[in-house]
Structure 1
Amino acid sequence: MTETSAPEGGLTPTPNNCPLPRIRSDFPTFNAAIDYAARSEKGMNFHDMRGELERVYTFTRMREDALDHAARLLDMGLEKGDRVALIAETSPEFAALFCACVYAGIWPVPLPLPTTFGGRDNYIDQLAVQLESADPRLLLYPAEIAEMTKEAATRKGCMGEDWDSFASRPAPPCDLPEAEPDDICYLQYSSGSTRFPTGVAVTHKALLHNLYGHAASMELGGDDRVASWLPWYHDMGLVGCFLSLISNQVSVDYLKTEHFARRPLAWLDLISRNEGTTLSYSPTFGYDICARRISSQSNVGDRFDLSRWRVAGNGADMIRPDVMQGFVNAFAPAGFKASAFTPSYGLAEATLAVTVMPPGEGIKIELVEEERLSGSERNLSRPARYRAIVNCGKPLPDMDVEIRGENGEAKGDHQIGKVWCRGPSVMHSYFRNEDATRDCLVDGWLDTGDMGYMADGYLFIVGRAKDMIIINGKNHWPQDIEWAVEQLPGFNHGDIAAFSIETDSGEEAPAVLVHCRVSDPAERISLRNQIADKVRSVTGMNCVVELVPPRTLPRTSSGKLSRAKAKKLYLSGEIEPLDVAA
């Protein structure tokens, strides 16, 4: 693979604009989208941990490499409809291999890197489970993780090869299969896919429709440029910050996810340094960690220039207004505008986006009474409590969104219920899982599993239905409990996991696992009591408070807190609470 060099020997990034007219994802198949992007001068720019440009990979070069790889796959005997699992490292190799699979009619299956799991054995176990589900003929991976990936491939009984060895195979000329809009383009495993993973089968038609809708909603223009650190095994990174940029011909600057984790501010350096960068997405925790890292520095305006950042996307987890305000407070001196925030709502089962806030409208919230959120009667003996619910925008073109009650009845504005959506972007099915497909796809409508309400055409998300804590017939949102504990001094976003457990008496009670950074026994007792008092003030009940070591609470591959896994590990004894004297 070649790199573009300037005459003096330095690397020249791909341009923001070029003579080729931009087409917003108006193609019959993703193959055609790759072909068109390759006619431009644009492409991908890969940066090291410090944000320095180290590899330039034009869409033209990517297509050439992809066609060679497609010939290699077919020469190995793979056929249209087979699966190839790809370890989704943010790299030119993965980009070319993904597109190669698409050209060959083979379904690429992006799988996570080991950095998102707790150790070697856990990663191998998780990879083996996903390989069992996807049933690929071949697993391709970076050479540096060959030992782990080979072991997972051996368990599944599929062929495994590092991508350098694969690239050395012969690539004899061949005829590529014809792609149709209704063909499956790829399989996407959601970030929560753990013990029983479900691969979302996405067609070319669904992908391109979503990419068009997303680009149109963000008013993507001819000079826009993207910066991203999001992982390519998660839908927001894969679809929003990789496939979309090919299909909409946008140059992009990449920072690896693990590099962002070590040096979060390198992301903002990247946006500042690369002239014309106007779009970048992150879950809430990405904005939070940057604001915390910069809080002690006084040279914000000298170091960063965020004035051109017009779409600061928010998605992939619950959007926290307080965190967003903290980011604005920290980076306003660098020219960041609060109106740049662009909340959105989506899920892999709808390809990516379902709703997007119109650019320039920023974060808008509504204060909703706790009783309305939980569906319980108002307790008149205490003052009303409210939670700020973020407006997640309007549905994409041709996307219908409906709020339904427990019996399937449609709800009116400001009435909370289950979020359903319908449109050309909705998935084809869960791969080889008819029961799961029937459970969530009904007459073309997708049950998202999320709770929310509509108001004047905008969608507000209040939480995941499966995370609801129901005790004595009353509903409690775990986010409310977690956010309340976070108000105590010394806690960060993601330090708390709330769920329900059965006590020794057989009754259900709220349980709260909390990262503890103090070692003094007396301080631990005081901390536990403070947390219990705080939760009691929110729920009106006593709770089980367990202090656990830092970095104990599990996260999904996209970085979101996994309450279900935290509960499972706690009940199985794999999360061991710290000793706290009575």
Structure 2
Amino acid sequence: MIDEREQDRLPERLADFQTLWEGLDYAARSEAGLRFYSSRGEMEQALSYRDLHVRASATARRLGSLGYPRGSRVGLIAATGPDFLAAFYGCQYAGLVPCPLPHTVYMGGREAYKARIAALLRAADASLALATGDLLSLVQEAGRLGWSGHALSYGALAERPDIGDLAPFAPDEDAYIQFSSGSTASPKGVRIGQRAILANTRAILTEAMRLTPADRSFSWLPFYHDMGLVGFSIAPMLGQCPVDYLATSSFARRPALWLKLMSDNATTITYAPGFGYELAVRRLGSDETAIDLSHLRIAGVGGDMIRADSLKAFAAALATSGFSEKAFLPSYGMAEATLAISFARSEGEIPVDRVDRSALEGSHRAVPASGPEARLFTICGKPLDGHDIVIVDRAGSPVADRVIGRILVRGPSLMTGYVADAQAGTPAIGPDGFFDTGDLGYRFDGDLVVTGRAKDLILHNGRNIWPQDVEWAIEQLPGLRPGSVAAFAVETADGRDELTVLVECSLAAALERSGRRRDVATAIASSQGVAAHVVLVRPGSLPFTSSGKLSRAGAKALYLSGNLVGLD
């Protein structure tokens, strides 16, 4: 006999729409919705997709009453809560282009945050900015730094009459502007079209997640980053999937709370950069081990180089909690491709490729190898349907399998272009439709392996040194954590590349500076066979991108400018 509740269930549609607002119109007919949790693990707010639709429509009318021309850009301070989401989807109904902006005050304090927001608003050419009440004054002050728009709080907008007309986007218009995670002094605003976001989320939901009506997702990722926005707001909404949220700042204070709430809510899908899994298992206390992760069928990982050993450590620590290593879903993607480019579904162990370390250091060829000296790379899988990945050499010619080169991508998920493309006159996407990601990698048997950023590769005495190998070796020392080390090359007066390593060091460890430097130098010599210039810096000194990735280029710039405070 068919359950009457099954008869009444809304038929599942996985991003089978032409625009985001059509997807929310449909999701509003479902019983699914969103829940927001406090840093104490208490549910603070619940919002059904029906409620979100009502709030977004009202927000759209209020925005319409402000009189901005169609296509005007609106900066949105992306706090984890209903206000941001109502404004983001409200823009879809109002014909205004939302631009998610960081909510967390960056390292360096209020002045650095103000300068950052001003740079992003200028880069987006935003006419309006909506801010949380606590940050409104800072956003307003951004006008003194060259931004000429107007700023309102979400609360002030909500007090305006919702008397404007709805003017929702058409399929051939932009959906939003996403700033790439590496954005620093010169932010790159990525224009994502309606067709691109629908193509990418459709592939994510059908090919990678294989979403079902029984799924429930959980995220602590920020909404201003593509993985948080697309992966855990847009995609779930387009699949009528419920989502639970923990603010990124709450995760940073209590990483293991992520695991506990997933246990309490029987979460089936989550995602995080690799360092998130490392932090969670490191902070897992004895009173938090009574958790059940047996429902978790997808534990996605992406955003930076994926360390298989860290994931295996997480799986081993949580095995008694029902976590299965086959839940890990390594992936590769970037804002310029909306979010996802490839996925590697595992049927057991984490998919890795073992290559000869010496061959890797001496050439651009990934030679298969075995044994403890082999270098492990996590496999990022095959491209999404309808997308192409090509590896090319410096001349732009395709290379053979297992030859490392630059990664080019093509497909319906690619951005419309950068905001600045029109002024620069040099489109980022070539006439053949391919986009140069700036990443290095290789392919074999159809699978993609990412080896690192092209600009980060260190050339030392004829050798290729991968900075993450240096950093990982040092991070194994007592008292260090992921993201506390940055390795890069500095050109010396005689033209040589000197390996330079910045290591965050607590005051206690700094009291024994010579011993700490000796330990770091020994770790580098043992793992890489080279000498390095070691600089100890204060905790929190190293810069990160919006996705939580270490910015080696930013660290190098700080070091060369003399603005990095050392402990010498």
Question: Structure 2 length as normaliser, TM-score?
Answer: 0.93
- Equivalent residue of 2:157, what SS? helix
2:548 aligned residue: 559
Which letter maps to 1:224?
Answer: D
**CA–CA distance in structure 1, aligned partners of residues 426 and 301 of structure 2:** 28
- Equivalent residue of 2:18, what SS? coil
Deviation, 1:16, is: 13
2:328 aligned residue: 341
**CA–CA distance in structure 2, aligned partners of residues 521 and 219 of structure 1:** 50
Q: Residue 56 of structure 2 contacts residue 86 of structure 2 at CA under 8 Å; is this kept in 1?
A: yes
**CA–CA distance in structure 2, aligned partners of residues 74 and 314 of structure 1:** 39
The answer as to 2:43 corresponding to 1:53 is yes
Deviation, 1:136, is: 0.8
Q: Residue 116 of structure 1 contacts residue 557 of structure 1 at CA under 8 Å; is this kept in 2?
A: no
Please list, as runs of the form range in 1=range in 2, the aligned pairs for 1:152-551 lying within 5 A after superposition: 152-155=142-145, 156-174=147-165, 176-177=166-167, 179-216=169-206, 217-275=208-266, 277-294=267-284, 297-299=285-287, 301-302=289-290, 304-358=291-345, 360-376=347-363, 385-434=373-422, 435=424, 438-517=427-506, 519=508, 523-551=512-540
**CA–CA distance in structure 1, aligned partners of residues 436 and 549 of structure 2:** 21
TM-aligned CA distance change 1:487 to 1:178, over 3 Å:
closer
Deviation, 1:189, is: 0.2
Which letter maps to 2:44?
Answer: E
**CA–CA distance in structure 2, aligned partners of residues 337 and 573 of structure 1:** 47
TM-aligned CA distance change 1:532 to 1:200, over 3 Å:
same
Which letter maps to 1:293?
Answer: R
**CA–CA distance in structure 2, aligned partners of residues 221 and 399 of structure 1:** 24
Which letter maps to 1:201?
Answer: R
Q: Residue 69 of structure 1 contacts residue 171 of structure 1 at CA under 8 Å; is this kept in 2?
A: yes
**CA–CA distance in structure 1, aligned partners of residues 405 and 463 of structure 2:** 16
Deviation, 1:409, is: 1.6
465-474 vs 442-451, greater mean Cα deviation: 465-474
Deviation, 1:388, is: 0.7
Q: Residue 17 of structure 1 contacts residue 222 of structure 1 at CA under 8 Å; is this kept in 2?
A: no
Deviation, 1:366, is: 1.2
**CA–CA distance in structure 2, aligned partners of residues 474 and 200 of structure 1:** 35
Deviation, 1:527, is: 2.0
Q: Residue 345 of structure 1 contacts residue 392 of structure 1 at CA under 8 Å; is this kept in 2?
A: yes
TM-aligned CA distance change 1:16 to 1:375, over 3 Å:
farther
2:107 aligned residue: 117
**CA–CA distance in structure 2, aligned partners of residues 436 and 129 of structure 1:** 21
530-539 vs 220-229, greater mean Cα deviation: 530-539
Q: Residue 198 of structure 1 contacts residue 433 of structure 1 at CA under 8 Å; is this kept in 2?
A: no
Between the aligned residues of both structures, percent identity stands at 44
**CA–CA distance in structure 2, aligned partners of residues 409 and 274 of structure 1:** 50
**CA–CA distance in structure 2, aligned partners of residues 107 and 83 of structure 1:** 5
- Equivalent residue of 1:114, what SS? coil
**CA–CA distance in structure 2, aligned partners of residues 24 and 448 of structure 1:** 28
Deviation, 1:506, is: 4.4
Deviations 1:506-553 (A, max 9, x none): 432010001123647783212212322332344443221111122221
Question: Structure 1 length as normaliser, TM-score?
Answer: 0.91
Which letter maps to 1:282?
Answer: A
**CA–CA distance in structure 2, aligned partners of residues 464 and 127 of structure 1:** 26
**CA–CA distance in structure 1, aligned partners of residues 426 and 292 of structure 2:** 46
TM-aligned CA distance change 1:329 to 1:384, over 3 Å:
closer
Deviation, 1:400, is: 1.1
Deviations 1:247-306 (A, max 9, x none): 11110000011111111111111101113x100001111100111112xx445552x110
**CA–CA distance in structure 2, aligned partners of residues 361 and 503 of structure 1:** 47
Deviation, 1:504, is: 4.6
TM-aligned CA distance change 1:182 to 1:377, over 3 Å:
closer
Q: 1:43 aligns with which of 29, 33, 48?
A: 33
Q: Residue 218 of structure 1 contacts residue 358 of structure 1 at CA under 8 Å; is this kept in 2?
A: no
1:11 aligned residue: none
**CA–CA distance in structure 1, aligned partners of residues 406 and 84 of structure 2:** 37
Deviations 1:26-64 (A, max 9, x none): 111112111111111111111111221111111111111
Question: CA RMSD of the aligned region, Å?
Answer: 2.2
Q: Residue 341 of structure 1 contacts residue 360 of structure 1 at CA under 8 Å; is this kept in 2?
A: no
Which letter maps to 1:105?
Answer: G
TM-aligned CA distance change 1:438 to 1:173, over 3 Å:
closer
98-107 vs 345-354, greater mean Cα deviation: 98-107
Please list, as runs of the form range in 1=range in 2, the aligned pairs for 1:12-27 lying within 5 A after superposition: 19-27=9-17
311-320 vs 520-529, greater mean Cα deviation: 520-529
Q: Residue 34 of structure 1 contacts residue 63 of structure 1 at CA under 8 Å; is this kept in 2?
A: yes
TM-aligned CA distance change 1:75 to 1:27, over 3 Å:
same
**CA–CA distance in structure 2, aligned partners of residues 17 and 208 of structure 1:** 28
**CA–CA distance in structure 2, aligned partners of residues 17 and 255 of structure 1:** 33
523-532 vs 343-352, greater mean Cα deviation: 523-532
Q: Residue 342 of structure 1 contacts residue 361 of structure 1 at CA under 8 Å; is this kept in 2?
A: no
Structure 1 runs not aligned, ≥5 long: 1-14
2:368 aligned residue: none
**CA–CA distance in structure 2, aligned partners of residues 394 and 159 of structure 1:** 45
**CA–CA distance in structure 2, aligned partners of residues 574 and 53 of structure 1:** 42
Deviation, 1:479, is: 0.7
Deviation, 1:371, is: 3.8
Q: Residue 498 of structure 1 contacts residue 510 of structure 1 at CA under 8 Å; is this kept in 2?
A: yes
**CA–CA distance in structure 1, aligned partners of residues 215 and 442 of structure 2:** 33
- Equivalent residue of 1:65, what SS? helix
Deviation, 1:17, is: 12
Q: Residue 16 of structure 1 contacts residue 250 of structure 1 at CA under 8 Å; is this kept in 2?
A: no
**CA–CA distance in structure 1, aligned partners of residues 250 and 129 of structure 2:** 25
Aligned residues: 556
**CA–CA distance in structure 2, aligned partners of residues 52 and 384 of structure 1:** 45
353-362 vs 542-551, greater mean Cα deviation: 353-362
TM-aligned CA distance change 1:548 to 1:250, over 3 Å:
same
**CA–CA distance in structure 2, aligned partners of residues 251 and 94 of structure 1:** 17
Structure 2 runs not aligned, ≥5 long: 366-370
